[in-house]
A and B are shown apart, each in its own frame.
Chain A
Amino acid sequence: MGRRGAVGSNVLRKDGAGKVNGRALYLDDLSFPGMLHARTIRSTIPAGTITRVTPRVATREFIVVDHRDIPGRNVVALIDDDQPCLAEKRIRHVAEPILVLAHEDRETLLGATVDIEYRQTTPNYDPLRSDVTFKQIAIDKGHVADGFARADLIVDGEYRTRHQEQLYIEPNGVIAVPDGHGGVIVYGSLQCPYYVHRALKVLLGLPDERVRVIQTETGGGFGGKEEYPSMIAGHAALAAIKSGRPVKLVYDRVEDMLATTKRHPSIVRHRTGVTKDGRLTAIEIDATFDGGAYATLSAVVLSRGLIHASGPYRCDHVKIRGRATMTNTPPNGAFRGFGAPQTQFAAEVHMDRIADALGIDPVRLRELNAFRPGDITATGQTLGKDCSALTVLREAVKRTDFRKRRKALKGTGRGIGLALFFHGSGFTGSGEVKLASRATLQLTERGARILVGSTEIGQGTRTMLAQIVADTLGVSYDAVDVNDADTGVVPDSGPTVASRTCLIVGRLLQRAAAEMRERLGDLSPSQYLKKHGPLVVTTQYEKPEKVSWDDTTYRGDAYESYGWGCDVAEVQIDPVTSQAIPVAFTTVHEIGRAIHPGLARGQIEGGSAQGIGWALLEEVVIRDGRMVNSSLTNYIIPTTLDTPPIEVQIVDNPYPQGPFGAKGVGEMPIDGPAPAIINAIRHAGVDIREIPASPERIQACASR
């Protein structure tokens, strides 16, 4: 290629300038002539039925929307379609939307009241005692009974994780604008424009072309803007259609925390057979995820959770059972990691307990059992050369001088712990085949324009995709533009989730760019345009040949490829306050190859910090089904002073089928911090098996 390519270098991010000079427009920065503001009226009870709704507003001034205003089906269309957009009678959780009010003056809107009477029923908050199971999954490999028969020792354990709020700093918001032909244009802070597009078509009973969804600059998502924007967009769209005017619906922080999705709480039980010298002979796992009041994405969160539940370890006999059940709390949903952080937390804390039970070093235990290329996973997938579990483990141990440190710290009130983990790139199982994503490349005077439904939410989508296209097409990075994620223009590239954008959409664009390059021949873009006219190339997902999956038996290649990581955390336990202070954190990641090392590092640092928050600080306090700490004052995320220095090492192992060797990176960083920290706390002398490891819990554990 001659000149230095964009891939592998830290080019300036496409959206950087607007973000540092204040000109980038986020949803709340937009305004339309004649725009109304909307507000959602929500249930105040966790379970029961609505008996009467009385808006205390001047009806001529206000737009009041309820379920009777829904022209299509009253559902937030996703997987099971069990969640109403506006409750009719049944209430299943606190903060369930019942009415939408709109008015042009925000103060008047805020002053409006609605009386709602209910008949209450008994709520259930215990996922283990639920009557409703949204999804059950069984994964079997070999026969655990045989495995246990071969074991010298059996170790049991139960591990719990709780809700976590995504806490993007920009709260959710949308603006719906009537298109003048009975349809709507929706602007929003969101991750998946085509999810919203589909949900609105179902809700409003409209054809494809009457719904247009445009992503605005999005101030963080982390999964929290994956499915929930479909709900908000529905509310704003209904009000826009009823009023014939643009309607803005922006949540304040309290509402955003009270009503929107969180990470699924989990209860995971392990029973593991192991030989004296530390080989795993049988793994039996039972996991329950608290789905909250509606199914939303629980089925797929559970699926990813269970596939990662036995950790990156070889074992001939594995039995995994899991379910997501209903409770009367707001629905839980997508959050970076999508079930895998919960189950790998359990797996990795359990590994350290096995090591303790055997009296062997936790590194040795993992070295013995870590997946190698050629090993077979719980679902029967044979791992290829892209398996780097041992590499990352050894690198992390070496960089932190783990064994020596562990000895040195014994009995000092400090502890050091590690966690080994993996994360599948892309949708689970046959998900990518069903999605059949598309990506489009359009030739421009200077280069090309990318048209994809994938969204930039801070992770660097625009930049990374442009790098792939630039180098494949043989033009400079600056000559590649990225279109807004606007369903009126871009094809459906699938949702921006599941660490899939680089691997799946990046590869689609790489193919499109390669084809475009061939068509160009010796011509420059502008020469080509002059001579032949416009050139547009669209590619669609093609399943790599070797990948196969059976949804009914849950066997096969769960993911095309996995990333690998190992975290080492050091904590200091304050004897006076029982606070566990993270003092050092090292993480080693193998993600194939980093298209943009700076962005990849940013993902790893940010994900690690979020994981550290989950491990130590972040707790959703729920009383009577209601989050009682729904403010930034009381839901505690790490500040600068709570975040340790994070050492990042990225190990290269280019994945031949990935674009320029890349796999996914977005989610994996949050899998490791919690178990690494809990293992460090264990090493410092406190056997805690639940997060967050708040000082209150540590103290209670220590005094037991």
Chain B
Amino acid sequence: MPVTIRHRALLSPRSLKDALRLRHEEPDAMPLAGCTDIYVALNFGTLPARGFLNLWTLDALRGIDVLDGVVRIGALTTYTALIQSPIVARHLPMLVAASREVGGPQIQHRGTIGGNVANASPAGDTLPVLAVAQAVVELHSVRGLRLVPFTDFYTGYRTSAAAPDELIVALHVPTPQGRQWFRKVGTRAAQAISKIVIAGVGGRQPRIAFGSVAPTVVRLPQTERVLASGGTILEAQQQMQSEISPIDDVRSTAAYRRQVAANLLDEFWRATGPGSARAARGR
């Protein structure tokens, strides 16, 4: 469908500084990154925004580097760039796994990690990864720089701690200690939205996060504690049910999501828990 654009305007900053000023002056102008969420909404006629702020040309928001085991990923980094980055491959293989399962090649070439985070969908595939890696969101505004722990970033369904004049500039992702785990259960094998998605870091102090089972991506601190303290998988699965709140929607059912979440937890723990190899051999 031809989208309606005539009454909408695009602001085109030349630098990050310029962008922050415009963001300050016109907080209603929506930041435009890879547009893989925005243009879909435009197509469905569900986007009220009249102004947009073009980030795509801001190279300050690109780039991946690593310092003291913390990987800094520019907000405009595309999935393709994540997949191809040797740094990400070495430190965050679960992020590579997640990126490979986003959309198809066309989406991977344009969609960005900053857009995934800012879009704040509970089904965003990189979000559980960032949650278990204990990432930090680097926000900028004319007022300065702010670092917000990823697990505090979302305040509710599609709402975040970012102020109206802030931009996400980068994500700081510490390399987790322990085996990384990612699995997406989508509506199909590609071009799929997650019905449920899990990221985890194994070991004695496991960390687990799920997407698509609550209004925001969720870490499961209590479930993690059960496993860390030597509880059985059954106990952990029971605990987990109180930490998620899935719903029925057009893509799946709450009952299915609960059952699969339990199965995924089991699969994760078999593969990464202490003694996992022995447990696997014994079966």
Contact = CB atoms under 8 A, between A and B. Distances in A.
Interface of A: 106-107, 110-111, 252-254, 575-579, 617, 621, 628-629, 631, 633-634, 636, 638-642, 695-696, 699-700, 703
B190 A577 contact: no
Contacts of B250: 621, 628-629, 634
A107 B256 contact: no
B267 A639 contact: no
A254 B4 contact: no
B251 A699 contact: no
Contact of B260 (A576, A638, A639): A576
Given A111-B4, A629-B250, A636 B256 contact: no
Given A107-B2, A577-B185, A621-B250, A699 B256 contact: yes
B260 to A, nearest CB: 6
Given A575-B263, A576-B264, A636-B188, A696 B1 contact: no
A636 B188 CA distance: 7
B182 to A, nearest CB: 14
B156 interface: no
B252 interface: yes
A703 B1 contact: no
A579 B263 CA distance: 13
Given A254-B1, A634-B193, 7 more contacts: A253-B1, A639-B188, A639-B189, A639-B191, A695-B260, A699-B256, A703-B259
Given A576-B264, A636-B187, A703-B259, A107 B193 contact: no
A699 B259 CA distance: 9
B143 interface: no
A106 B4 CA distance: 9
A578 B263 CA distance: 10
B68 to A, nearest CB: 36
Contacts of B185: 577, 579, 695
B236 to A, nearest CB: 16
Interface string B1-21: 110111000000000000000
B44 to A, nearest CB: 7
Contacts of B264: 576
A162 to B, nearest CB: 14
Contact of B253 (A579, A617, A628, A696): A696
B123 to A, nearest CB: 11
A640 B193 contact: no
Contacts of A578: 256, 259-260
B255 interface: yes
Interface string B177-198: 0000000010111111101000
B251 A634 contact: yes
B260 A577 contact: yes
Nearest to B260: A577
A107 B4 contact: yes
A372 to B, nearest CB: 41
Contacts of B191: 639
Contacts of A254: 1, 44
Pick the most buried of B1, B193, B264: most chain A CB atoms within 10 A of its CB: B1
Interface in B171-215: 185, 187-193, 195
Contact of A110 (B2, B195, B263): B2
B231 interface: no
Contacts of A638: 188
A633 B263 CA distance: 26
A634 to B, nearest CB: 5
Contacts of B86: none
B4 A639 contact: no
A576 B2 contact: no
A302 to B, nearest CB: 29
Contacts of B164: none
A641 B259 CA distance: 25
Given A107-B6, A634-B250, A634-B251, A642 B263 contact: no
Contacts of B252: 696
A631 B40 CA distance: 11
Nearest to B252: A696
A639 B187 CA distance: 11
Contacts, number: 72
A642 B191 CA distance: 11
Nearest to A251: B1
Contacts of B256: 578, 695-696, 699-700
27 contacts: A107-B6, A110-B2, A110-B4, A110-B45, A111-B4, A252-B1, A252-B43, A254-B44, A577-B263, A578-B259, A617-B187, A629-B250, A634-B193, A634-B251, A636-B187, A636-B188, A639-B104, A639-B188, A639-B190, A639-B191, A640-B190, A695-B195, A695-B256, A696-B256, A699-B259, A699-B260, A700-B256
A361 B44 CA distance: 52
Contacts of A699: 255-256, 259-260
Contacts of B253: 696
Nearest to B1: A252
A642 B4 contact: no
Nearest to A171: B1
Contacts of B1: 110, 252-254
A178 to B, nearest CB: 24
A41 to B, nearest CB: 15
A415 B259 CA distance: 23
Closest 4 CB pairs of A and B: A641-B189, A252-B1, A576-B263, A629-B250
Nearest to B248: A696
A641 B192 CA distance: 11
Contacts of B43: 252
B10 to A, nearest CB: 16
Contacts of B255: 696, 699-700
Contacts of A576: 260, 263-264, 266-267
B73 to A, nearest CB: 26
Contacts of A703: 259
A83 B215 CA distance: 43
A36 to B, nearest CB: 14
Contacts of A629: 250-251
Contacts of B267: 576
Contacts of A106: 2
A642 B193 contact: no
A625 to B, nearest CB: 15
A617 B266 CA distance: 26
A699 B195 CA distance: 14
Contacts of B188: 617, 636, 638-639, 641-642
Nearest to B40: A633
Contacts of A634: 187, 193, 250-251
Contacts of A252: 1, 43
A641 B190 contact: yes
A699 B258 CA distance: 11
A520 B192 CA distance: 60
A111 B2 CA distance: 12
A553 B202 CA distance: 70
Nearest to B264: A576
B111 to A, nearest CB: 14
Contacts of B260: 576-578, 695, 699
Contacts of A110: 1-2, 4, 45
B88 to A, nearest CB: 23
A247 to B, nearest CB: 16
A628 B264 CA distance: 29
Contacts of B263: 575-577
Nearest to B104: A639
Contacts of B195: 695
Contacts of A253: 1
A204 to B, nearest CB: 28
Nearest to B185: A577
Nearest to A579: B185
Nearest to A106: B2
A617 B189 CA distance: 11
Interface string B239-269: 0000000000011110110011001101100
A440 to B, nearest CB: 40
Contacts of B193: 633-634
